[in-house]
A = this chain, B = another copy of it.
Amino acid sequence: MDLWRAMGLEGRRVLIIHHDDLGFTEAQNRAYLALGLPTGSVQTPGAWAPQLRAHPGDLGVHLTLTSECDVPRLRPLTGGASLRDSEGYFWPTREAAWQHVDAGEAEEEFRAQIEALRALGVEPTHLDTHQGTVGRPDLLAVYVRLALEYRLPCMIPDVVEAPPEVRAKLEAFVAQTPLPRVKLVNHYRADPATRRQLYIDLFSGAGPGVYHFIHHAAVATEEGRMLPSWRERQADFEALQDPEVKRVLGEFVPLTYREVRDALRRYL
Binding site for B on A (CB under 8 A): 25-27, 30, 45-51, 70-75, 77, 79, 86-89, 116, 119-120, 219, 221-223, 226
A219 to B47, CA, bound (A): 19
User: Which residues of chain B have C-beta atoms less than 8 A from A70's C-beta?
Assistant: 50-51
**Other contacts beyond A48-B71, A88-B116, A221-B221: 11, CB < 8 A:** A25-B223, A26-B222, A47-B47, A47-B72, A47-B73, A47-B74, A49-B73, A50-B87, A87-B119, A219-B222, A221-B222
Jot down 10 A-B pairs with beta carbons below 8 A, ordered by A.
A25-B223, A26-B226, A47-B73, A48-B72, A49-B73, A50-B72, A50-B89, A221-B222, A221-B223, A222-B223
- Closest chain B residue to A44 by CB distance? B88
User: Which residues of chain B have C-beta atoms less than 8 A from A219's C-beta?
Assistant: 222
A47 touches B71 (CB 8 A): yes
B71 touches A223 (CB 8 A): no
A16 to B30, CA, bound (A): 37
Interface centre among A49, A51, A87, A223 (most CB of B within 10 A): A223
A119 touches B50 (CB 8 A): no
- Closest chain B residue to A72 by CB distance? B47
